[in-house]
A and B are shown apart, each in its own frame.
Chain A
Amino acid sequence: MHIPEGLLPLDQAAAWYAPAMAFLAAGLAKLKRLFKEKPDARPLVGLMGAFVFVVSLMPVPVPGLGTVSHPCGTPLAAILLGPFAAVALGAVALLLQALFFAHGGISSWGANILSMAVGGSFVGFGVYRGARRLGAGLGLAAGLGGLAGDIITYAITSFQLAWALHGQESIGATWLAAFGSFMPTQIPLAIAELFFTSGVVVFIYRRRADLLAGPETQP
């Protein structure tokens, strides 16, 4: 769920922007190096950006909360291109969604980057890598990465919403209320993202193993 334009006060928007821009700069540096070393990587990068855009634009209404849930796609991008590059792709997808569908915003771009692009990519990739090191199969590890990346995205978004909207309630109680409201729709979506991420990674491994060049991708 993307936080819309105008919801966050200026100071909170700035607070989320600062770390988000640092991650974005690191991601762009990584992509610049990748383009220099492998000019043929451009189609893969563009395709992953489009995947994140499409997957995170599938809204499912959240009953009671009045907003929408969606899968993220950033864990899959992180598994294929690494977490820093996935942050840059998530940021670009969020910007295009804001511009063409008012889904998200410009002042809330930093907050949305931190939840979906940074949280989804790093946690998804971390769980995937950890599971591989513990001996999990490629499909299981990728699926768990997709599931964890999806859930953490909503945990961070709930915190951002709680900080902005808690009023006289405590931030913790508001976070719990927001996160709890997301769960009825988000758990099925996270499970769907588990199957989707797992399935796509295994499929790509069988057909084009060269696209999964990291050491974690050995079966």
Chain B
Amino acid sequence: MSGGHRHQPDGFPGQVSFLAGIDPRVKLAAAAAFLVVNLTAPTALAPAATAALMALLMLGSRTPYRRRLLMIAFPSTFAIFVIASQTVFHGGDVFATLGPFDLHRDGLFHGLFMSLRIIAGGLVIVVLGVSTPLNRLCLALKWFRAPATFVEVVLLTYRYIFDTRAQLLRMRDAQRARLGWSSARRGLGSSRMLGGSLFLEVYERGLRSAEAMRCRGAGPVVAGSLPRLGRIDKLALLAAAALAAAPALLSLSGAGL
């Protein structure tokens, strides 16, 4: 799996800002709180504030630019779709007509609100994902009493994603070097053989490495545990709780977040 580490989605948290050093349990709890606030906010202010905070944290995380764009591409695309569909379907005053579609003012505002929620929610997850290596996230899941089988399958799947990717690239390079494109029919026929070969190659390698790991005493359950929360972790937890509770407190006081 040469070069595999270079491509790991969470290959950079070790070299990033203070967020990477915060305990994953704190980050998981904070992310859950922000997601609930984002989903329950009656107006756009809380999602906007959440999006701004998460964007700042992401900028501070020193994640490569292309990676940031890639990660936010899906929520952004969907946000545009939601604005368009709500403007057409949601109803309200008609402010324009586009071909067979009436465009509604209320729908446009509702779409903008929902798209802000999608962007904010997406950014919360992105920040969690780029700042937490998966093994630490799994330790946090274990601490939160997630089923051991689930945690084990997450780690197994994660390991095989890189095995599959490495084998796929090797086979693609070999195909490029040896073969040219002949026809769609042949392409479909060879995809069956390539897909099957990829499957069996990775499976055989997996069997060998599982055997090797067993010989070295590796057990099936995720090893290790997280230390007690440090001072920085407790401060981060308090800050996240205060920030997440702010919209609820302000709306109770009539500020209407």
Contact = CB atoms under 8 A, between A and B. Distances in A.
Given A100-B129, A102-B72, A105-B121, A47 B153 contact: no
B76 to A, nearest CB: 9
Interface stretch (A49-57, A116-124, A130-138): A49-57
Secondary structure of the A contact surface, majority rule: helix
B129 A102 contact: yes
B82 A165 contact: yes
Nearest to A1: B78
Q: Give the top 10 A-B pairs by smallest Cβ distance, nearest first.
A: A199-B192, A203-B196, A49-B157, A43-B206, A6-B121, A46-B156, A5-B121, A168-B91, A167-B90, A66-B81
Interface of A: 2, 4-7, 9-10, 13, 24-25, 28, 31-32, 35, 39-40, 42-47, 49-51, 53-54, 59, 65-68, 88-89, 92-93, 95-96, 98-103, 105-107, 165-169, 174, 195-196, 198-200, 202-204, 207-208, 211
Contacts of A43: 160, 203, 206-207, 209-210
B198 to A, nearest CB: 9
B160 A40 contact: no
B91 A66 contact: no
B84 interface: yes
Interface in B173-215: 188, 191-193, 195-197, 199-200, 202-203, 206-207, 209-210
Interface stretch (B14-22, B35-43, B225-233, B237-245): B35-43
Given A107-B121, A174-B89, A28 B129 contact: no
B118 A106 contact: no
Interface string B135-160: 00100000000010110111011111
A199 B196 contact: yes
Contact of B202 (A47, A67, A107, A166): A47
B60 interface: no
Contact of A67 (B78, B90, B192): B78
Given A49-B157, A89-B153, A165-B89, A4 B75 contact: yes
B249 interface: no
Contact of A196 (B10, B81, B195): B195
Contacts of A51: 164, 199
B248 interface: no
Contacts of B72: 102
B125 interface: yes
A67 to B, nearest CB: 5
A46 B71 contact: no
Contacts of B203: 43-44, 47, 208, 211
A42 B200 CA distance: 14
